[in-house]
A and B are shown apart, each in its own frame.
Chain A
Amino acid sequence: MSVDTSKVAASNTSAATASKPTKVGAIAAWSDERLGLAAMGKKNLRKIFPDHWSFMLGEIALWSFVVLLITGVFLTLWFQPSMAETTYQGAYPNLRGVSMSQAYASTLHISFDVRGGLLLRQMHHWAAMLFVSAMMIHMLRVAFTGAYRKPRELNWVIGSTLLILGTIEGFTGYSLPDDLLSGTGVRAAAGFMQAIPIVGTYITFFLFGGEFPGDSIIPRLYTIHVLLIPGILLGLVAAHMLLLVYHKHTQWAGPGRKETNVVGYPMLPVYAAKAGGFFFITFGVAALMGALLSINAVWKFGPYDPTKVTAGAQPDWYMGWPDGALRIMPGWESHFWGSTWSWNIFIPVILMPMLSWLLVTILPFLENWITGDQREHHLLQRPRNAPTRTAFIVSLMTWYAMFWLAGGNDIIATQLHSSINNITYALRVLVFVGPAIAFFITRRWCIALQRHDNEVLLHGYESGVIMRSAQGGYAEIHKPISESKAYAITVRDRGTEGAGLADGPKANGKLTLRDKLRTLYYEDDVQKPTVDEYDEAQAHLAHADHGDAHELEGGHGH
C-alpha cells in the first residue's frame, strides 16, 4: 500500500512555536505567578508512559475507587446509620409493618422510593467488586513480571496495604444494610473477635458497645466505612501514584527499550486522553452492571434477627477464603485453668490471613534477600524467566484458591450431590498438597518454556511448510524469527552468573538457608545461548533449507 507521507496531518507535526501570547499561555502565566507550577509541569506534562494491555489493570482499580467515592457520597445522602427500631412503612409491600432498624429501613428506602437509588446501590456494590478484583489481578501482574524489584519495593508494600484495606472497606460496607445476610456476617465477625485469646471479649464489648448485637455497631462501622478507611485509601492511592510517576513506569524489553529509558506516549495529550477516557468507560461499565445485574437484593431475607439465618449464607467473594479456612479447620479448642482457647477460629480467620498478607507484602524483600540483587530493574521479566518466583506465586494462588473453594463447600456439595464431609476432608489435604504440586508443575513448565525460547531462537519457528526430500523423507521447514523478536526474548539476565553464594559453605561444609534458597532459586534455569552459539545456528539455518525455502521466505518481508 503506497502512502503519501508528504501530506502528514497537522496533528502529527511537532509542537507549534508560540509566536504571540495564547490563551493557554495567559492562564499558565497567571497561575505560575501564584503557584509556580511551571517547573513541575515542564517535567511531567509530557511524561512518557509505555503501552501494554496489562498496565491497564491498576487503572481499573483506580477508576473503580473513584466510582465508589462518587456513588458512595450519593448513598450517604439517604442512608441512616442507626440501629434504632422503626416500623417500615415504605413502598415494599412484603415488609410493610415489620419492625426493623433505621439502617435497613433507609436501605429499603434507597432501593424502592428513591428514583435511581437501586441503581446507585448496585453500581456501588459492583464497583466494589471491580475494585478488589482489579487490585488483585494488578498485583498478580506486578508480581509475575518482577515489577516489584528495586526500586519499587515500597510501592508494592503500599499496594498490598491498599488491598487489605480495600477488603476491610468492602466488609464494613457489606455490613451496613443490616439485613439478615449482613447481620449474619457481623454475627460471625463478633465471634471471630471474641475468639482472640485474652483480649477478645474486651475488644468485642468495646466495638459493639456491649453484648452482640447492641445498638452501636452499625454507626461505628459507618464511620469506619465512609471516613476512616476511605481517608487512608485516598492518601495511599496518592502516594502510590506519586511513586509511579517518580520511578517512571516499567516496560517490556524490545527494540530501543532498555533498562535506562522509557518508550511510549506522552502524558499530555495521549495518556491523559486514554486514561481519562478509560475512567468514563469504567464508570459506564459500572452503570451498565447496575442496570442489568442484580446484586445484594437486601429485601429478600428481611431485617436482621439474631435468632434467624438463611441456608447457604455466603460472604462477598473476597471474604470467601478466610471463611473457607474457617470451614475446613478442625474443631480444636484448648480448655485449661478456666480459659477457652479457640484455635479453630483464631488460626483460620485471624492468624492465617494476616500471615498470608504479611508474606505477600514482604515478597520483594524476601526475593532480594535470596538473590542478593542490588541493581535497579525497569524492564519487566517474562514469568518464564524467573521460574521459581512464578512457581511460588502460582502456589500462593493455589493456596488462596483451595481456601476459597472451601468457602463454598456447601454449594459444591449440593451442586455435585456429594458428601460435604468428604469435600471438607479433601480440601484439608489439598490446601497443603495443592500449592506444592502447583509449585512443581509451574516451575518445570517455565523451564520448558525457556527451553522453547532457545529452540525458536536457534532453530527457527515451525513454518508449517512440509518438504519432501528426493529420498522421500518429510521435514518441516524452520524459519528464523524476526530480528526484533529475537532481540526482545534475549534481553534477560544470565541467571546465577555473578550472584554466586551469599554466605559460602559453613564450617561443617553445609550451605546456609539463604544459600540453599539461592541455589534452588536458580536451579535448572535454562540460560540463553551465547553469541557464538547464536551466530552458528543462524548460519546453519540459512544453509539447511532447500533452494525453494528461500523463495518461500521471500514473502516474509525482510
Chain B
Amino acid sequence: MSDSHEIQAHTDALLPDPGHPEHHWRPTDVDPRAERRAERQVASLFGLSILCTILFVVFYVTIEGGIGGPTVMGLGASNLALGLSLGGALLFIGIGVIQWARKLMADVELVEERHPASSSEADRSATVAALQAGLEESGIARRPLIRNTLIGSVGLLVAPAVVMLRDLGPLPGDRLRHTVWAKNMRVVRDVVGTPIRPADLEIGDLVNSSAEILFGTDKGQPVPEADVIEGTELQVEKAKAATVLLRMDPDDIVSDATRNWSVSGIVAYSKICTHVGCPISLNERTTHHLLCPCHQSTFDLADSGKVIFGPAGRHLPQLPLGLDDEGFLVALSDYPEPVGPSFWERETKSPGAVFNEWNKENAQ
C-alpha cells in the first residue's frame, strides 16, 4: 500500500543535494550572559507595553477629546495620545514575543515529510464502497419517484425565500419618468427657496435651483398641509428636481429647442448627470459647458445639453422655462423626458424629437 501511494512530485535537481546546512549556535545559546541579556530585553519590552497601557488609561481620563480638546502640531491631543499609547502597548508585546522566539526559542530547523494530498487507494475505495452501500440501502436509485419528488420539494423551497424579497421595495411603475416640476411652478434657489427674476442673473451666471413646492410654498404662499413634501419623500424628489439655471448671450444658443425653452438667454437643465446620477456642478463660463466632477462627462448647454466629452451616453434633459405674471421664472411643464441615469425601460429620443413631441402636447 505504501509504495502505491506516493506523492506525485519530482524534485528535478541537477546537482547532488548538499544536504541541510550546518546549524550555527547563536550567542544566546552558548553565552549565559547573552542569554540573560536577551531575557531581560524581552521582559523589558513587555514592561514597556504595561507602561503604555497604563498611559492609555491615564490619557483617556485626563485629556479632553473631541473638537474642544487640546491639539499637538495640529493633531487632536486625545487621538494622538490614545493612539500612540495603544500602538506602543501592542507593538511592544509583538516585538517582545518575536525577540523571544528569535533569541531564546530553539532555532534548529526541522524536517517533516509531506504526504500526498489524496487519500490512499484503500481509503478511497472504502469510501466509495461506503457511499455506494449507503445509496443502495436508501434505495434512492431504485425509487425515482421518491428521489424526484424530494428534489422538487427541496428545490421549490427557494421560492419562499425569493418571494419574501418582493416587499423589499415597490415596483418602479412610472416613478422614474416624472418629477415634481409642473406647469407654472416657480424656479427657486436651491438653499433658500427664493424665486428668481431674469434680471437677477448676469450673463455667465449659474444658479443651482429647485422646484418651489419642495419648500412648501406656491407663488410664495404656504401650500395646504397635505401637499407638503417631507422626510424621505423630500429627499427622493429633491434628487430628481435638482436643476441648473445658466444665463448666456441669446445669440450663443445653437439649437431651436434650447432657444424656445429659454427666457432672455436663461436655460434650465437637469442637474443630475445622465451617466450614473452625480449632480453636475462644474461650469465652464466661457463655453457654456457643464462638467460632471464624478466621471467628467461634459454637456453643451447651448445645444440641448448634448454630450461633448466623457462617458455619458445621452444629452441632459432641458426644463422649458417661462415667466409668470409677477416676472419670476417658472417651468412650462415637467421635464419632457426622464431625468437622471439610464434605466432599461427608458424610451430615449433625440433632443429634436423630444422638442417636437412636447410642442404637440402643449399646443392645445
Instruction: List residues of A whose CB falls within 8 A of some B CB.
Output: 3-5, 7-9, 11-12, 46-48, 83, 85, 91-93, 111-119, 122-123, 150-151, 184, 187-188, 190-192, 194-202, 204-216, 246-248, 253, 255-256, 258-266, 269-270, 273-274, 276-285, 287-288, 290-292, 294, 305-313, 323, 326-333, 335, 338-345, 348, 374-379, 409-410, 420-421, 424, 483-484, 486-487, 490-494, 528-531, 534
Q: Tell me, in angstroms, the Cα distance from A213 to B272 when the chains sit together.
A: 13
Given known contacts A308-B279, A339-B345, is B9 in contact with A281 (CB within 8 Å)? no
Given known contacts A213-B236, A534-B15, is B275 in contact with A345 (CB within 8 Å)? yes
> Is B68 located at the chain interface by the 8 A CB criterion?
yes
Report whether B275 and A290 are in contact in the complex, using a CB–CB cutoff of 8 Å. no
Could you name 26 residue pairs across A and B whose Cβ atoms are closer than 8 Å? Answer: A7-B30, A9-B35, A9-B104, A190-B276, A191-B275, A200-B343, A214-B232, A246-B117, A256-B111, A260-B113, A263-B111, A274-B97, A281-B98, A291-B84, A291-B87, A292-B75, A309-B280, A331-B313, A339-B344, A340-B343, A340-B346, A341-B344, A421-B309, A486-B15, A531-B15, A534-B15
Given known contacts A248-B114, A255-B17, is B88 in contact with A376 (CB within 8 Å)? no
Q: Tell me, in angstroms, the Cα distance from A212 to B277 when the chains sit together.
A: 10
Q: Tell me, in angstroms, the Cα distance from A191 to B274 when the chains sit together.
A: 9
Given known contacts A119-B86, A339-B344, is B172 in contact with A201 (CB within 8 Å)? yes
Report whether A210 and B169 are in contact in the complex, using a CB–CB cutoff of 8 Å. yes
Q: Tell me, in angstroms, the Cα distance from A200 to B113 when the chains sit together.
A: 54
Report whether A306 and B238 are in contact in the complex, using a CB–CB cutoff of 8 Å. yes
A-chain residues with CB within 8 Å of residue B307 when the two chains form the complex = 331
B-chain residues with CB within 8 Å of residue A305 when the two chains form the complex = 238
> Is B210 located at the chain interface by the 8 A CB criterion?
yes
Stretch of B253-261, B290-298, B317-325 with 4 or more beta carbons under 8 angstroms from chain A? B290-298
In the complex, which of the residues B13, B84, B110, B235 contacts A491, with contact meaning CB atoms closer than 8 Å? B13
Report whether B210 and A307 are in contact in the complex, using a CB–CB cutoff of 8 Å. yes
Report whether A376 and B344 are in contact in the complex, using a CB–CB cutoff of 8 Å. no
Report whether B112 and A184 are in contact in the complex, using a CB–CB cutoff of 8 Å. no
Q: Tell me, in angstroms, the Cα distance from A305 to B282 when the chains sit together.
A: 17
Report whether B90 and A284 are in contact in the complex, using a CB–CB cutoff of 8 Å. yes
A-chain residues with CB within 8 Å of residue B184 when the two chains form the complex = none
Total contacting residues, chain B, CB less than 8 A: 112
Report whether A91 and B294 are in contact in the complex, using a CB–CB cutoff of 8 Å. no
Given known contacts A197-B344, A206-B169, A248-B114, is B313 in contact with A342 (CB within 8 Å)? yes
State the 9 A-B residue pairs at the shortest beta-carbon distance, nearest first: A291-B83, A191-B276, A333-B313, A280-B94, A284-B91, A277-B97, A306-B239, A284-B90, A281-B94
> Is B186 located at the chain interface by the 8 A CB criterion?
no
Report whether A9 and B100 are in contact in the complex, using a CB–CB cutoff of 8 Å. no
Report whether B84 and A378 are in contact in the complex, using a CB–CB cutoff of 8 Å. no
Q: Chain B, 14-33, contact with A by CB distance < 8 Å: what is the 0/1 string?
A: 11111111000100111010
Report whether A326 and B348 are in contact in the complex, using a CB–CB cutoff of 8 Å. no
**B49 to A: closest C-beta gap in Å:** 9
**B79 to A: closest C-beta gap in Å:** 5
Report whether A284 and B87 are in contact in the complex, using a CB–CB cutoff of 8 Å. yes
A-chain residues with CB within 8 Å of residue B344 when the two chains form the complex = 196-201, 339-341
> Is B304 located at the chain interface by the 8 A CB criterion?
no
What residue in chain A is nearest B97 (Cβ atoms)? A277
What residue in chain B is nearest A251 (Cβ atoms)? B114
The winner among B11, B87, B276, B281 for most chain A CB atoms within 10 A is B276
A-chain residues with CB within 8 Å of residue B226 when the two chains form the complex = none
In the complex, which of the residues A215, A277, A345 contacts B232, with contact meaning CB atoms closer than 8 Å? A215
Report whether B165 and A256 are in contact in the complex, using a CB–CB cutoff of 8 Å. no
Stretch of B59-67, B122-130, B194-202, B216-224 with 4 or more beta carbons under 8 angstroms from chain A? B59-67
The winner among A259, A273, A342, A424 for most chain B CB atoms within 10 A is A342
Report whether A210 and B94 are in contact in the complex, using a CB–CB cutoff of 8 Å. no
Report whether A12 and B106 are in contact in the complex, using a CB–CB cutoff of 8 Å. yes
B-chain residues with CB within 8 Å of residue A348 when the two chains form the complex = 311
B-chain residues with CB within 8 Å of residue A150 when the two chains form the complex = 117
Given known contacts A11-B104, A258-B17, is B313 in contact with A332 (CB within 8 Å)? yes
B-chain residues with CB within 8 Å of residue A326 when the two chains form the complex = 276, 295, 311
What residue in chain B is nearest A248 (Cβ atoms)? B114
Given known contacts A291-B79, A376-B9, is B279 in contact with A306 (CB within 8 Å)? yes
What residue in chain B is nearest A63 (Cβ atoms)? B94
**A74 to B: closest C-beta gap in Å:** 12
Report whether A273 and B97 are in contact in the complex, using a CB–CB cutoff of 8 Å. yes
- Beyond contacts A119-B86, A490-B13: 19 other A-B pairs, Cβ-Cβ < 8 A, are A12-B108, A92-B66, A191-B275, A200-B343, A214-B236, A215-B231, A248-B114, A259-B11, A270-B105, A279-B94, A280-B91, A283-B94, A307-B208, A308-B281, A326-B311, A339-B346, A483-B15, A487-B13, A534-B15
